[in-house]
């Protein structure tokens, strides 16, 4: 079995440039697969009855009934204001709301410091986010498919054994079929 990419990275088997190439390849494959998945889902949704199951040797596909659109409140304060403006005051509770400047991160940080590190009620500290990379201008899947070196990289990325992995030079096998 091919070595997992995380293990290869941990073992220092890929350079930064090679890892960047693998990421671009995986991104291209993901884009191609999403297109295929979307088309297949649309095809099956149109042809399957709700709650129908189709079991294949690769997995089970189940049709799921959608739901009707329904209203939901995303900004309660704005909705309350709209209700008041339209004569629906009995549908509105009077609740104090912080002024815009008081809800800014720097103002909250100041308040936390001012009150000995106490976290104000109704306020949470977000997790933040880590550094990342973005992939753009990835090679089109059809171009990757025609590029033998890219095919070899894709096989390794997907953990597909090929003739180079087992030492045999069997070019009659089509690993992409």
pLDDT single digits (tens) 88-105: 999 998 887 888 899 899
Round to the nearest angstrom and report the end-to-end CA distance of the chain.
Answer: 19
pLDDT value of residue 1: 60
pLDDT value of residue 9: 94
Ranges of the chain with pLDDT below 70 = 1-2, 161-177
Structure tokens at 15: 């350079």
pLDDT value of residue 160: 79
Residue in the block written with tokens 């049709």: 63
Q: How far apart are CA 144 and CA 62, in angstroms?
A: 32
Residue 60 backbone phi and psi in degrees, to 5:
-115, 135
DSSP label at residue 89: G
Confirm if 174 and 17 have CB atoms less than 8 A apart: no
């Amino acid at each position: 079995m091919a070595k997992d990419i995380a293990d290869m990275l941990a073992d220092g088997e890929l350079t930064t440039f090679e890892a960047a190439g693998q990421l671009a390849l995986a991104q291209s494959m993901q884009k191609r697969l999403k297109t295929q998945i979307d088309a297949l889902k649309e095809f099956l949704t149109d042809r399957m009855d709700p709650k129908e199951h189709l079991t294949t040797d690769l997995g089970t596909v189940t049709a799921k009934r959608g739901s009707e659109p329904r209203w939901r409140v995303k900004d309660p304060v704005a909705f309350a204001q709209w209700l008041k403006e339209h004569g629906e005051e009995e549908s509105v509770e009077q609740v104090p709301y912080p002024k815009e400047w008081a809800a800014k991160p720097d103002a909250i940080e100041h308040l936390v410091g001012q009150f000995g590190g106490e976290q104000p009620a109704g306020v949470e500290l977000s997790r933040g986010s880590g550094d990342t990379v973005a992939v753009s201008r990835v090679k089109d899947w059809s171009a990757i498919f025609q590029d033998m070196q890219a095919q070899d990289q894709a096989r390794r990325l997907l953990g597909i054994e090929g003739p180079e992995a087992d030492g045999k030079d069997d070019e009659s096998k089509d690993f992409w079929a």
